[in-house]
Copies of this chain bind each other. A is one copy, B any other.
Amino acid sequence: MMKLAKKDILGIRDMSREEINLILDTAESFLEISTREIKKVPTLRGKSVINLFYEASTRTRTSFELAGKRLSADTINISASTSSAVKGETLIDTARNLEAMTPDIIVIRHSAAGAPHLLAGLVRQSIINAGDGSHEHPSQALLDMLTIKEKKGKIAGLKVAIIGDIAHSRVARSNIYGLSKMGAEVVVAGPPTMLPRDIDKLGVRVCTKLEDAVADADVVMMLRIQLEREKQNIFPSLREYARHYCLNRRNLGLAKPDAIVMHPGPINRGVEISPDIADDPTCSVILNQVNNGVAVRMALLYLLTGGSE
């Protein structure tokens, strides 16, 4: 009967190994509900969850909404646009207003790193960070870890390669924290302009060549390229990027024979990953990640409202 001793889910950095295990175990037990004829349990009846999205998102919002509804919570979507809002202060006022309407959980996505932490300090409700700038995306890392555990039976001792725009990826950051904590060996690779300067402080090995990172990997995690960055001269061109960092049959051959391939979606096919690899059911676990996402978010909603293992 372990309970989560946290008010909020802000990031993986401040999460203990025990907390991660509790969430993953709880999520595992929720996986079964989504396979039932009647995919709904009354656990969160009378609770309300607000999805406050300052950045457009189809899949993360849908995943949280489905998670809430499968637990019988009331879900309310707010799509706010950062542009129309005077940032800082308005976010605070919005949060205090939502607090006064007494929901139970506020799920927030915001382009500013730290926005969820600001809210968490202000309001009584539980805050879940659904992605803040290039900072953290904890529910993504948790669903990634659940998928690895499901496919490999463990996380500790595995070699995980993370490839792409490490510097600007909240997915990379949350996974680096989580996988390291759980005992995996993390290697990252990407063009020099996409590697953060302080990356070695995170305890990961850094390569500039994809091949060096993928060699002998158990897990190859490809990151999404933000296409709009092409214009910012961070990398020369998509074609150039793909030539060096697109996962294909040839360079995946350097990984362990039973290596799994992950991607947070949506995929830019032929840029980050070749279509035949993305769709190959023997190695790609991309859709398992999506499926596990609903269960992980059910677990977070459940544990934050006082549920126990």
Q: Which of A's residues lie within 8 Å of B, judged by CB?
A: 34-40, 45-48, 50, 58-59, 62-63, 65-66, 69-70, 74, 76, 78, 80, 89-90, 93-94, 96-104, 265-267, 269, 287-288, 290-291, 293-294
Contacts and interface: CB of A to CB of B under 8 A. Distances in A.
Q: How many copies does the complex hold?
A: 3
Given A69-B74, A90-B266, A287-B96, A101 B39 contact: no
A291 B66 contact: no
A74 B66 CA distance: 8
Contacts of A36: 46
Given A40-B45, A47-B39, A291 B58 contact: no
8 contacts: A38-B46, A40-B45, A48-B69, A58-B80, A69-B76, A97-B290, A100-B290, A101-B294
Given A97-B287, A291-B101, A294-B101, A62 B48 contact: no
B78 A58 contact: yes
Contact of A98 (B40, B62, B70): B62
Centre residue among A78, A101, A103, A293 by max chain B CB count within 10 A: A101
Contacts of A291: 100-102
Contacts of A100: 287-288, 290-291
Contacts of A288: 100
B78 A269 contact: no
A46 B50 contact: no
Contacts of A70: 48, 74
A94 B59 CA distance: 8
Contact of A294 (B90, B96, B102, B267): B102
